[in-house]
């Protein structure tokens, strides 16, 4: 039994069959990468997992509970967090406030009317947020406005926000897209570190094979909306169907 079980998910956009009977079984504590050429349906798939899109048919179970039909905030409260391809952060708030919000969400749930307490008095939350920022090496940027961060820092901040919720499953949508080599490596190290210390299950969508092979335990290959291969990294590397799908796309 995996922590996340996806069965026969289909999604059509007009005439386009974006997801074609997708099945996926993510084991608890593993890092599961989904790779595939552009337009293979990777992002559509992730959007179905977090409630942004509703698939036409199929079922998605998380820890034995159905995910489909739940609202985004409910899915998140079940323990699924997502890092977006372009960092989604609160640009008008400070870095510190950005991380405090998921801490509150984790502690208080999806709604609580605490209009009388002071944020300053929430010692527990503040310590938690500080620790989180320390973990991603951003402790010196605590009171900076999030809008003024560099692209790499924004990604790290978003990661910190997701981790602050102590999720059971972390979805990462191309966490290194558009990064320089050095930043990419730093991100890989950070993600590895998180895996070692926290043991959060992760689903990663990635283009960069270097990243995939450094992190993933299992790889699924998505092409034209269908899973065409699945297995250990070594198996996938030499898989003929994968080579075919990727012809001219990237070096495998």
Partner 1 sequence: MLKYNDKLLMLVFTILVLTGPIILAPFGAGYPDLLQRFVIFGILAVGYNILFGLTGYLSFGHAAFLGVGSYSTVWMFKLLTMNIIPGIILAIIMSGLFALLIGFITLRRSGIYFSILTLAFAQMSYSLAYSVLTPITNGETGLQIRLADARILDAKNDSGSLPSTNLFGLEMNDTWRTTFMGMDLQFNVGFYVSAFILIAVFYLSIRIFRSPFGLMLRAVKTNQNRLMYTGINTKPYTLAAFVISGMYAGLAGALLASMDPLAGAERMQWTESGSIVLMVILGGASTLLGPVLGAGVIKYFEAIFSRINDNVLHEWFDILPGFLETFMVWIVHPFVGKGWSLTLGAVFMIIVIFLPGGLMEGANRIGKRFVKLKRGSADNAKTPAE
- Residues in contact with partner 1 by CB under 8 A are 50, 71-73, 76-77, 81-82, 88-93, 97, 100-102, 104-106, 108-120, 122, 161, 165
Cβ nearer to partner 1, comparing 165 with 218: 165
Nearest approach, Cβ of residue 176 and partner 1 (Å): 20
Cβ nearer to partner 1, comparing 91 with 148: 91
Cβ nearer to partner 1, comparing 200 with 209: 200
The long-range contacts involving 72-79, CB below 8 angstroms and separated by at least 24 positions, are 73/110, 74/110, 75/49, 75/50, 75/51, 76/50, 76/105, 76/165, 77/105, 77/109, 77/110, 78/168, 79/167, 79/168, 79/169
Nearest approach, Cβ of residue 74 and partner 1 (Å): 8
Nearest approach, Cβ of residue 164 and partner 1 (Å): 9
Cβ nearer to partner 1, comparing 38 with 111: 111
Distance from C-alpha of 110 to C-alpha of 44, rounded to nearest angstrom: 25
Cβ nearer to partner 1, comparing 7 with 94: 94
Distance from C-alpha of 94 to C-alpha of 210, rounded to nearest angstrom: 33
What are 223's strand-pairing partners?
226
Nearest approach, Cβ of residue 86 and partner 1 (Å): 11
Distance from C-alpha of 37 to C-alpha of 242, rounded to nearest angstrom: 10
Distance from C-alpha of 124 to C-alpha of 186, rounded to nearest angstrom: 29
Cβ nearer to partner 1, comparing 93 with 228: 93
Nearest approach, Cβ of residue 37 and partner 1 (Å): 26
Nearest approach, Cβ of residue 105 and partner 1 (Å): 4
The phi-psi region of residue 53 (left if phi > 0; otherwise alpha if psi is between -120 and 50; otherwise beta) is beta
* Beta pairing class for 226-231 and 218-223: antiparallel
* Beta pairing class for 57-62 and 218-223: unpaired
């Amino acid at each position: 039994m995996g922590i996340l079980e996806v069965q026969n998910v289909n999604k059509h956009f007009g005439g386009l069959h974006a997801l074609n009977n997708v099945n996926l079984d993510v084991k608890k504590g593993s890092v599961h990468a989904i790779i595939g050429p552009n337009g293979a349906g990777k992002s559509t798939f992730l959007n179905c997992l977090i409630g942004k899109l509703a698939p036409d048919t199929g079922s998605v179970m998380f820890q034995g509970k159905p995910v489909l039909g739940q609202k985004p905030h409910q899915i998140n409260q079940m323990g699924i967090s997502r890092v977006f391809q372009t960092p989604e952060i609160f640009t008008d708030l400070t870095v510190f406030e950005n991380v405090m919000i998921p801490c509150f969400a984790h502690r208080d749930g999806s709604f609580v009317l605490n209009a009388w307490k002071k944020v300053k008095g929430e010692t527990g939350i503040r310590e938690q947020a500080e620790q989180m920022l320390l973990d991603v090496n951003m402790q010196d940027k605590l009171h900076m406005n999030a809008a003024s961060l560099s692209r790499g820092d924004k990604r790290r901040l978003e990661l910190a926000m997701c981790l602050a919720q102590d999720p059971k499953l972390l979805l990462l949508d191309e966490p290194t897209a558009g990064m320089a080599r050095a930043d990419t490596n730093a991100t890989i190290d950070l993600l590895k570190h998180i895996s070692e210390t926290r043991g959060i299950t992760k689903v990663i969508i990635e283009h960069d094979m270097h990243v995939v092979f450094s992190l993933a335990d299992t790889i699924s290959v998505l092409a034209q909306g269908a899973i065409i291969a699945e297995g250990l990294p070594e198996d996938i590397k030499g898989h003929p169907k994968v080579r075919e799908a990727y012809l001219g796309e990237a070096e495998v």
